[in-house]
Chains A and B, each alone.
Chain A
Amino acid sequence: MTIRSEVSPDGRGVTIAVEGRFDFSAHRDFRETYESLDSTPESFTVDMREATYLDSSALGMLLLLRDHAGGDAAEVRIVNCNPDVRKILTISNFEQLFEIR
């Protein structure tokens, strides 16, 4: 499980890529990624291309990110979801809170 982050060229968005199992063990690294930023970007993108698995603690982490990014006013996207990840997000109806692709 690895977390990598990248600021977009115009500095307004941050992409956080999760590789491997997105579960409880990712908690600290994931949190540090956005808490260590100097300022809160306009949008966050969580890239799930290399993520193999997602559980309820990962859902919790996404909610924490959204809360940090401004709650209802936040712009958080979850992209490149494989079918398994997609399914879990769908059952939880997270598309009501995040833009999911």
Chain B
Amino acid sequence: MSRIDQRAIGELRELMGDDFGALIQAFAADSHAQIREIDAALAKADAERVRRYAHSLRGACVNLGANDLAELCEQVEASGRAGDCSAAGTLMASVKREFAALGDELSHYVRH
């Protein structure tokens, strides 16, 4: 099952044209960085920072049509807002799993 909304991808392709591949790569790189930031924030128990990066990541996911990952990020964001680093930490495992799977799918789009 696709982790990305097909129609969204289609529109993105149409919008970005030749730059579509670059966009996907940028997303992959940025998301990876943001996940690391969240980990670092959890290590310092900085709930606010967790919230902020989760929010940013979620936004990009929504724009890309990666709705499952977006949903998970929203939960991390909520935990961060609530100050619950423990819950956020638990969720991050799912986030990373989902992101890895997503990454595979995205690489197909880049190649074709």
A and B touch in the complex (CB under 8 A): no
Residues of A within 8 A of B (CB): none
